[in-house]
Amino acid sequence: MALGLGWRAFAPFPMNHCGVFLKAVRSSGLSLFPWGQSSWRGTGSFLDPEMKAFLEENTEVTSSGSLTPEIQLRLLTPRCKFWWQKADLWPYSEPYWAVYWPGGQALSRYLLDNPDVVRGKSVLDLGSGCGATAIAAKMSGASRILANDIDPVAGMAITLNCELNQLNPFPILTKNILDLEQDKWDLVVLGDMFYDEDLADHLHQWLKNCFWTHRTRVLIGDPGRPLFSGHSIHHQLHKVVEYSLPEPTRRDNNGLTTSTVWDFQP
C-alpha cells in the first residue's frame, strides 16, 4: 500500500510521500529539537487518563511487520484514522514515537537474540520513541534501564507498551539528556537518530565522551540513511550484524531493504 500524506508529514526522515513537516520547520527557522520541555518521570507517572484514552483509541496494538514479532507495540497504522488525516489535526507534538523505525528494529532484534549483551547491565535507550529497544533490553535481563525521549507523549506510549508486554514500566526521562551531566551506563543504544547534521555532530561528541569517560559500550542502529553513512562517525564504527527488513517496513520507508547494528569504537 502506498502511504497517503496525512500525519506522516511529521516524519524526520523520508517515508513514502512525506517530508512536508521537515521542510516547513527548516524554512521557518524553528528548532527541530525542542528538548528540555519536560523532565524525569518514574514508573507509571505518565498515565494521564485523558492522554491514555486518546492513545488507546487512536493507535493499534501490533506485533506484525517488524523484526521483533515477540514485542507488541501501540503504533499508528493504516487502520488508524490519523494515518490518513491531515497532520495538523493531531493534537500533540509530532508523533515520531508512533513508528517502529528500522534502526530501532535492528537494535531490538539484536538484543533479543544476544541477551548476554545486556544481562545484568545498565542500559540507556537514547531517543527511545516507542520504547521497543528498552523493552528488548528488559526482556533480555538488563538490571537498570532508562528510556530517554524528548516527547512526554512518547513517555506515555512507552509506559503503555511496557504493559502490553507484561513488564513493569522502567524510568523515563523527557529532557535533552545531551545537555545534562553524563551518568555511567554499561551500554547506550540509539536507533535512527542521525537524520539532522547538527544533532548528528552533537551525538557524536556526546557518545565519544561516554566512551572515554565511562568506557560505555555504544550500539547504533541505522538502515543506511545518507547522513549517517556520510558522517565522520562512520569511520569509528564496526558492523555487528545486518538484518533484512520485512516487506511492510521496506514499503513504509522508501524501499530501504536492510538495517544494521554498529558498535561505536572511537
Say what the pLDDT of residue 46 is: 55
Distance CA 222, CA 203 (A): 14
Higher-pLDDT residue of 30, 140: 140
Lowest-pLDDT range of 33-47, 55-69, 146-160, 221-235: 33-47
Residue 227 lies in a domain: yes
Q: Which residues pair with 148 in a beta bridge?
A: 126, 173
Contact at 8 Å (CB) between 62 and 72? Answer: yes
CATH number for position 54: 3.40.50.150
Q: What is the pLDDT averaged over residues 151-159? A: 93
Residue 6 lies in a domain: no
**Residue percentage of the chain with pLDDT more than 90:** 69
Q: Is the pLDDT of residue 7 over 60?
A: no
Distance CA 186, CA 124 (A): 8
Residue 90 lies in a domain: yes
Residues spanned by the domain of 258: 49-264
Angle 54-59-61 from CA coordinates, rounded to 5°: 125
Q: Is the pLDDT of residue 27 over 80?
A: no
| H or E element at residue 94 | none
Say what the pLDDT of residue 94 is: 87
Distance CA 178, CA 207 (A): 9
Q: What is the pLDDT of residues 76-124, one digit of tens each?
A: 988 998 888 877 888 888 899 999 999 999 999 999 999 999 999 999 9
Distance CA 7, CA 29 (A): 21
Residue 102 lies in a domain: yes
Distance CA 147, CA 13 (A): 22
Instruction: For the full predicted model, state whether its pTM sits above 0.75.
Output: yes
Residue 148 lies in a domain: yes
Backbone φ and ψ for 258, nearest 5 degrees, come out as -135, 165
Higher-pLDDT residue of 11, 263: 263
Residue 1 lies in a domain: no
**Confidence label for 230 from pLDDT (cuts 50, 70 and 90):** very high
Distance CA 136, CA 139 (A): 5
Say what the pLDDT of residue 26 is: 30
The number of domains in the chain is 1
The mean pLDDT of the chain is 84
Contact at 8 Å (CB) between 195 and 225? Answer: yes
Virtual CA dihedral for 175, 265, 158, 51, nearest 10 degrees?
Answer: 40
Residue 105 lies in a domain: yes
Residue 97 lies in a domain: yes
Q: Among residues 221, 201, 205, which one has the least CA distance to residue 213?
A: 205
